[in-house]
Structure 1
Amino acid sequence: MSVECLAYNANDGASVFKGYVIVFLFPFFLSAGLFDWADACSPKAQRAKEMLESFDANIERALRDYEVPGLAVGVTVDGHVVYAKGFGYRDLESCMPVTEETLFAIGSCTKAFTTFVMGTLVDEGLLHWDASVIDVLPEFRLWDQYATTNLTIRDLLTHRSGMPRHEFFWYNSKMSKKEMLRRIRYLQPSLEIRERYQYGNLMYFLAGLAMEEASERSWEELVKERIFLPLEMKHTNFSIEETKNQNNYAFPYLEKNDQLKKMPFRNLSLIGPAGAINSNVIDMLSWLQLQLSGGLWRGQLLISPVTLQEIQAPQVIIPGVPETNESLLYAYAMGWGVLSYRGHYFVSHDGVSDGFTSVVGLLPSENIGVVILANKNMTSLPRYLSLEIIDRLLALTTIEWMQGGLENIRKNKESAKECKIQDSLSRKQGTNPSHHLEDYAGVYENQGYGKLAIEVIDDKLQVTYNDLIFILEHWHYDVFRVAKEMQDMIVSFEGAKFTFCNNPLGDIGELRVPFEPCADDIHFVRRPIERLSTVAHLKKFTGIYEVYGYTVEIVVRDNTLMALIPGQPHYELIPSGNNEFTVKSMMGSTVRFVLNKEGQVEEALLIHPYGAFSAFPRNPR
């Protein structure tokens, strides 16, 4: 292979959505399983082995064409491993080669492990596919009460909850699972429950919690005990730390500025049931063989064949996928995508994790499986390579999938460029921010997404959210655009628009961020400056005030300034400036205290949409 052991020019398919670049996620794709190299091959397996012997050159050429550092490929036929090899480099800088035992993150191919273990719990009567989630997790709540009450385990596993991805909600977050469960109720859905298929990871997080609650075991313990140990998947694990404790693992790479560069390993333990497993093709082939054998492994039935069949059966139609003569009838099962591929029933899934792309697939009727693992972020190579392998194994007429994939990449690049041009044309020229940069700095909070901090660094606004850092540049009016990310991520947020909004006093009170393209912008409310919320500061404003013969008592209760008016509810006052407070339950109403030279209150201005009134201390200090 002629690829240099250094970072080199790279480019892959990309499309622009809502002003920032995202890489197209492929529906689901291909893969297979393994038994023992020493087993005598069936005639079909032997033929497959011979057919694939000449395939190495195709893979090496594909690595060059798609500019992928390394790749591992495994194929099983009739319970026999007929192909398991590594290509390219697991570390470009040190020229360390990929082998069949090199560990890669498998991303969303993890989901099938979760549904398999869920199936074993169903077999034992500990869970039921159509049980209500709230009956298993009493603390569970969604935005919508009907969905909260009626969402089932099956809904979680088939992506029909109505919830979009909300990836930035959990991505790189250090919140606990308990906190994540609590916050999910504040995430806006984009569809009604069971309205249609909508892929995401959050519901698999909930599925993992349900499994833990029902079994009194952690998700990791369940998967290890019920899959890894029986199948002797000795190298497969759940964490970066476990991977790095082994000698043979791939480094993650992404394309940036037409160069391949290493990106940091990302800890996905929070969202583990959706995508945290790391494995190699040898271990994965064992896993796929289990799927192809109806749950039987070396004489031991690990899951009921009926349950496994239900896991692999279509549950919900996947809309919007272009059907062709080769692929049609796209549907989602539970942790698997299913379709008719050139007349063959095909069960598959793809996986994307930071710097890694994977594809696994099963042809149950033919007892064939394929697994492909790559260490490049969101590359389409595993998809197209797997299709060529499948065609060869099925002795189908040749389709130039690899060449077609390169053409798709070229078209996507052109489309991305055009979208950027159109985005720039929407910019209003000659505008300025309504405030000085310092006025935009502060801490903003959303009940679901948590806190987001903005500070001024080198005359630029810098955003920190979940330890992710963005640089903002002025776009137009009070809209700023993400100009630069200070770290590498699975999806670029560059170009996203942050919109700042003024409150009735003309101060910046809110920030709107397009973290979820399928829902409304996420609204972050500006938090009071901490020094303005101390009890010592708040006590300066306490006392009894008179306005038109009425009295208003200002007190501090539970570290909060309150306004008590006879015959009315108690009003919470939220600091919005040095001596200004917004009235929490009265939209557009504020209280501004006027201090004398000694720092004592001499007047309180009560400002609301219908006018302003002056209140004076009954006993000035």
Structure 2
Amino acid sequence: MGELSQTRTTLEERLQALSPAIQSICQVAGAPGISLAVTHNGEPIHRASFGFRHVEDKKPVTGSTQFPIGTMAKTFTAAAIGALVAEGRLTWETPIKDIIPELHTASATVNENLTIVDLLSHRAGLGRSNFWWQGADATLLLEKHDLLSYYNKLPITGQFRADWGYSNWGYALAGEVIERVSGKTYAQYLRESVYLPLGLKDSTVEPLDPTTAADFARPYAALDDGSLHPMPQPPINGNTIMAPALGGVSSTDDLTWYSIALLQAFRHESGMEKSRSPPALKNALHQLSGHIFTQKALLEKSYAFGWYRTQLPNTVLGMGWNSIYVKKMPKLTPRSHVGPLIAHGGSLPGYHVSIALLPEINSSVVVCTNSIALGDVSGWVSMALIEALIDTPEPSDYLALATEAAGNAVLNVKRFEQKLESTRKIGTTPKPRDNYIGRYRDKERGWVIDVRAQDAAPSGLEVAFQGLDSQAWYLSHHEHDTFSWLASREEQAKRGRMVTYPLVADHFKIHFQVDASGKVASILWKHEAGAPIEQQYFIKE
């Protein structure tokens, strides 16, 4: 008993010793507030909160501070599906067409065979198409009732059950399954099947007014100098299209008890440790097991239901996109065998959160932050805490990594601009701007792109997605009849675009196409990787 106590004491000392570095990481990257917790053997052993949930009023972050959890919502959706399976209302292999007969995608194979397992493990082989629904300035571009019509029109971008492709649409459709099978709203069923059984007090997918909430983290963006810019509140809740994929709020306290419940259920169902009473969560073994490989390598990297699985020692997926900002990501190396690491992050404009589970040593890590920072602070801090948990022989210098990432994040868009410039054909001129002005429509979906006169823009033109003023971006002439709507990192951050994701040149290029008479007749916007080019044209009205 004394040896066990000494082991825990040493672990707590390692975790506590990280506090100065964690606060420095937040300062370097521009995260105003952070709340974290570490659990071991079914109880929290380390908790800490630093900084502010509301910078202007100097209101501190606490363990009960509510944060929008972004794509962490996928894990709750999977847990709710697990409850439906336990109730006998559906099976993992129930065809989606039996629940949603309106399912008519571009793939006959998908229509006939798609199951909940395919949706939850991102193996349907259909496009990601995030541009269709996700706008700037906290604006959703589609309504909840648009879900099925747009899901049915997703392009085929991979092989069914063979290719992994992260899809918010798949989880949105899983939310529709929950509503149809349960006869309740997604928010109601999640509350009854997950939140209430676990005693979660700060978690909800219902619409919430952050200005009246007692303990709510306001969203911020880190500008290039590290200063903070207040952001509009992301609107995703149970009444909106993508709530099952990235909606809802929670707190570090609630996510801590959620992680403990997941570990208890997983260990019980796998025979590692039998619980005295039945676990509150059901089918955790199925939820946390891998269902498709995300990367081919000697050490496993796979995807479960809302979770990335990584066999250690290894670099880790699911902890944000810090890998695009540093030369080399750390390899998490345990001192002794600890089993797989099961983790997932969650991001929305103004927030980054993460949870990591280590079932074999019955431990977890939770981190919540309220900023689009210069790099993903929740990722760096999570990995530092994990290394303390697994007693890494040579811990990584996460402050140095965060500093490197912050410097490169500031330069990311500028370097991207230089790359675009290096491929541009010099000396080409555009047509008079009136040739380009007009409305262009996707004939399959009815989605529109307006091109308008804008004297303040470098080209005299701007593009407005869905014809909305809130989605207007200045156009710059690139070459011939191709224009770019790329804005500076600061402008994108201020307007709520996720600047912590990889930049893709085709996403920012608008190619105007001319007909046989030389008149502009359409736009080619290559916004969907893997989709046929002919499905990415917008026809001029």
Tell me the TM-score range normalised by the shorter chain.
0.7 to 0.9
* Counterpart code for 2:439: V
Q: What is the CA RMSD across the aligned residues, in angstroms? A: 2.7
Q: Distance in 1 between matches of 2:233 and 2:388?
A: 35
Tell me whether 1:229 sits opposite 2:196 in the alignment.
yes
C-alpha offsets along residues 400-437 of structure 1, whole Å, 9 cap, x if unaligned? 14034444555676776554323102222222223x32
Within 5 Å, give how 1:145-544 maps onto structure 2: 145-171=108-134, 172-238=139-205, 241-258=208-225, 259-268=227-236, 269-294=240-265, 299=277, 301-304=279-282, 307-319=283-295, 328-342=299-313, 343-344=337-338, 345-377=340-372, 379-402=375-398, 403-407=400-404, 410=407, 417-434=414-431, 436-446=432-442, 447-448=444-445, 450-458=447-455, 460-466=460-466, 467=468, 468-484=471-487, 488-492=495-499, 496-520=508-532, 522-527=536-541
Residue 364 of structure 1: how far off its partner (Å): 1.0
Partner of 1:563: none
Could you tell me which residue of structure 2 aligns to residue 610 of structure 1? none
Q: Does 2:17 correspond to 1:54? A: yes
Distance across 2 between alignment mates of 1:126 and 1:300: 20
| Contact 1:243–1:278 under 8 Å retained in 2 | no
Aligned equivalents of 2:386, 2:504: Cα separation in 1: 37
TM-score by structure 2 length? 0.82
Shift of 1:139: 0.7
Deviation at 1:302, TM superposition (A): 2.7
Higher strand share: 1
Q: Residue deviations 1:215-261, cap 9 Å, x none?
A: 11111111111111222222212256344431221121223444432
> Aligned with 1:140: secondary structure?
coil
From 96, 99, 115, the equivalent of 2:62 is: 99
Query: What is residue 564 of structure 1 aligned with on the other side?
Result: none
TM-score by length of 1: 0.72
**SS class of match (1:59):** helix
Cα distance in 2 between the residues matched to 1:47 and 1:138: 57
Write the deviation string for residues 32-91 of structure 1: whole angstroms up to 9, x where unpaired: xxxxxxxxx977655544443333222212222333221111111112222222112223
Separation in 2 of the partners of 1:281 and 1:101?
Answer: 6
Unaligned runs of 5+ in 2: 269-274, 314-336
Task: For residue 318 of structure 1, give the secondary structure of its aligned residue in structure 2.
Answer: strand
- How big is each residue's C-alpha offset from its partner over 1:150-204, in whole Å with a ceiling of 9 and x where there is no partner? 2221110001111232111111335333322112222212112122211121100
Larger mean Cα displacement after TM superposition, 450-459 or 158-167? 450-459
Aligned to 1:589: none
Tell me which amino acid in the other structure corresponds to 1:212.
E
Partner of residue 134 from structure 1, selected from 84, 97, 103: 97
Alignment of 1:569-608 (within 5 A): none
Report if the CA contact (8 A) 1:432-1:476 is conserved: yes
Closer, same or farther: CA 517–230 of 1 in aligned 2, 3 Å: same
Alignment CA distance shift 1:518-1:410 (3 Å): farther
**Distance change in 2, residues 1:456/1:418 (3 Å):** closer
Tell me the secondary structure at the aligned position of residue 206 of structure 1.
helix
| Structure 1 residue 310, shift from structure 2 partner | 1.1
Q: Tell me how far apart the structure 2 counterparts of residues 349 and 494 of structure 1 sit (CA, whole Å).
A: 23
Alignment partners' CA distance in 2, 1:63 and 1:491: 18
Contact 2:133 2:140 in 1 (8 A): yes
CA contact (8 A) 1:240 1:265 kept: no
Query: 1:230 & 1:45 partners in 2: Cα distance?
Result: 29
Q: Letter of the aligned partner of 2:473 in structure 1? A: F
**Percent same amino acid at aligned positions?**
25
Amino acid at match of 2:360: S
- Give SS of 1:186's match: coil
**Contact kept in structure 1, 2:372 and 2:498, CA below 8 Å:** no
Counterpart amino acid of 1:437? R
The residue type paired with residue 398 of structure 1 is E
Q: Which of 69, 83, 86 pairs up with 1:120?
A: 83
In the alignment, residue 75 of structure 1 is paired with which amino acid? V
- Give 1:501's aligned amino acid: Q
SS at structure 1 position matched to 2:496? coil
Count of aligned pairs = 479
2: CA distance between counterparts of 1:75 and 1:372? 9
Stretch moving more, 110-119 or 237-246: 237-246
**Alpha-carbon contact 2:75-2:306 (below 8 Å) kept:** yes
AA partner of residue 509 (structure 1): A
Secondary structure at 2:295's aligned position in 1? coil
Q: CA deviation at 1:450?
A: 1.1
Judging changes above 3 Å, is the alpha-carbon distance between structure 1 residues 483 and 46 closer, same or farther for their aligned structure 2 residues? closer
Q: Tell me if structure 1 keeps the 8 A contact 2:194–2:281.
A: no
Mapped to 1, the partners of 2:486 and 2:415 lie a distance apart of: 18
Q: Which stretch shifts more, 402-411 or 350-359?
A: 402-411
Shift of 1:503: 2.7
Change (3 A) 1:43 1:124: farther
Q: Assess if the C-alpha contact under 8 Å between 1:44 and 1:77 holds in 2.
A: no
Cα 1:43–1:163 change in 2 (3 A) is: farther
Q: Is residue 71–residue 346 contact of structure 2 (8 Å, CA) maintained in 1?
A: yes
SS in 1 for 2:57: coil
Distance in 2, Cα, partners of 1:185 & 1:429: 42
Report the residue type matching 2:89 in the other structure: L
* Structure with larger Rg: 1
In the alignment, the residues of structure 2 paired with residue 240 and residue 219 of structure 1 have an alpha-carbon distance, to the nearest angstrom, of: 12
The structure with the largest helix share of the pair is 2
Distance 1:388 1:99, change over 3 A: same
Q: Distance in 2 between matches of 1:481 and 1:372?
A: 37
Contact 1:197 1:319 in 2 (8 A): no
